[in-house]
Amino acid sequence: MKSEQIIGLEEKYIMQTYTRFPIVVDKGIGCYVFDKNGKKYLDFLGGIACNPAGHGNKEVANAIAKQAEKLLNISNLYYTEQQVILAEKLVKISGLGKCFFCNSGAEANETAFKLARKITGKTKIIAMEHAFHGRTFGALAATWKMKYKQPFEPLVPGFAHVPYNNIDAVYSAIDLNTAAVIAEPIQGEAGIIVPDKGYLAKLKKICEEQKILLIADEVQSSLRTGKFFAYQHENIKPDIVTLAKGIANGVPIGICIANKGLDFDKGNHASTFGGNSLACAAANATIDFILKKKLVENAEKIGNYFIKKLNELKEKKAIIKEVRGKGLMVAIELNKEVNPYVDKCLEKGLIVNNVTDTAMRFLPPLTIKEKEVDECIEILDEVL
């Protein structure tokens, strides 16, 4: 099909909830994608952090193909191998206790909220202002933006919001009915907001003192900040961690990992597709590839290079107000509306996005090298 035809069919047959860029993406290789007309783009958004091992990754593709021929999904009425391999891997890396598998970030957070209420027997969840946790009713209640929530009220009750990066505010919000605090180690959808060093450790300490649970939403921040989990920068263990996005390099998966001793009872929670063999095989191959190629370390090294280059660009361009981020979770804040600049980048073959009205976000595959960073900076230099 031609691009125009695809765009027309989308409007006719697909619910119009997305504002899409006007290209039809056809295939990807490494950190590049190609549209239907064969135009090449440098992908510095990586499917919004969903392609850490790069597009068209052969090792992940082979694992998926092999598993697809063997077994896709047999439900959780039976034991399957890829699921336990993945669970053991994640428990060892995280230092936590047990996993529950589902299919998206929102579902992973729903699982975390249910588990927190079940374990503590309390209902209140403290979330952060400007947080994003997903679009299902519970995750939406934990999300900050009114625009996302208001048309669907009433949402799940029991959620309160406090300013991010403010320990006193959390302390004041805790009451006798508080089950948990949920925080992103770095806020993603808010525009890549990095809290003060020690923030998460202080959150953990308060939670411990007050006997409530700390949920770290690592859906966006895992893999790309220089540690496998961003919370590991602070030498703490949250009680519950949620994952999704890049863990299976683009195959849908959601995971809730809870610390030792935190578990559901039989029948408390379930997901038909959760932990299916295909998604788990994809995740196993993705994680193996990331560890083998030291991509977590690369994210830190190349991320530092990228941030340095962006700061150099900021010296030249008054339009750049701030460069923020850690590793390959990065944004620049402009002193103008960012949309026209994002569009111009696309025209020039660079994929980025407008995470807020004024911030441009970068979440590239972790396989990028200095050469690709230079290419990105060159385009940004022209566009800005």
Q: Rank residues 188 and 191 by Cβ distance to ligand PLP and give the closer one.
A: 188
Q: Is the peptide bond before 154 cis (omega within 30 degrees of 0)?
A: yes
To ligand PLP, the closest distance from the beta carbon of 63 in angstroms equals 21
Six-digit token string for 173: 């919000």
Q: Rank residues 45 and 379 by Cβ distance to ligand PLP and give the closer one.
A: 45
Annotated catalytic residue, options 35, 44, 113, 217: 217
Q: Rank residues 30 and 225 by Cβ distance to ligand PLP and give the closer one.
A: 225
To ligand PLP, the closest distance from the beta carbon of 31 in angstroms equals 20
Q: Rank residues 54 and 105 by Cβ distance to ligand PLP and give the closer one.
A: 105
Nearest residue to ligand PLP, by Cβ distance, number only: 105
306 catalytic? Reply is no
Q: Is 324 helix (H, G, I), strand (E, B) or coil?
A: strand
To ligand PLP, the closest distance from the beta carbon of 104 in angstroms equals 4
In which residue are the tokens 């193909």 written? 65
**What does residue 126 show for φ and ψ, rounded to 5 degrees?**
-95, 120
Going by C-beta distance under 8 Å and a sequence separation of 6 or more, which residues neighbour residue 316? 381
Which residues of the shown chain bind ligand PLP in the complex (CB under 6 A)? 104-106, 109, 132-134, 184, 188-189, 217, 219-220, 244
Q: Rank residues 366 and 380 by Cβ distance to ligand PLP and give the closer one.
A: 366
92 catalytic? Reply is no
To ligand PLP, the closest distance from the beta carbon of 324 in angstroms equals 16
Annotated catalytic residue, options 245, 273, 309, 326: 245
Q: Rank residues 105 and 195 by Cβ distance to ligand PLP and give the closer one.
A: 105
Angstrom distance (rounded) from CA 373 to CA 257: 33
Angstrom distance (rounded) from CA 98 to CA 259: 7
Angstrom distance (rounded) from CA 107 to CA 271: 9
Going by C-beta distance under 8 Å and a sequence separation of 6 or more, which residues neighbour residue 4? none
The DSSP code for 88 is: H
289 catalytic? Reply is no
Going by C-beta distance under 8 Å and a sequence separation of 6 or more, which residues neighbour residue 145? 130, 132
**What number of other Cβ atoms are within 10 A of residue 248's Cβ?**
29
The closest alpha carbon to 368, from 276, 278, 313, 293, belongs to 293
To ligand PLP, the closest distance from the beta carbon of 64 in angstroms equals 19
Burial string for 169-179 (b: 16+ CB within 10 Å, else e) reads ebeeebeeebb
Alpha carbon 88 to its chain centroid, in Å, reads 21
To ligand PLP, the closest distance from the beta carbon of 370 in angstroms equals 27
Going by C-beta distance under 8 Å and a sequence separation of 6 or more, which residues neighbour residue 195? 164, 165, 185, 186, 187
The DSSP code for 196 is: P
Q: Rank residues 35 and 107 by Cβ distance to ligand PLP and give the closer one.
A: 107
To ligand PLP, the closest distance from the beta carbon of 244 in angstroms equals 4
Annotated catalytic residue, options 100, 113, 132, 306: 132
79 CB-contact burial (10 Å; exposed 0-12 / middle 13-18 / buried 19+)? exposed
Catalytic positions, please?
132, 217, 245
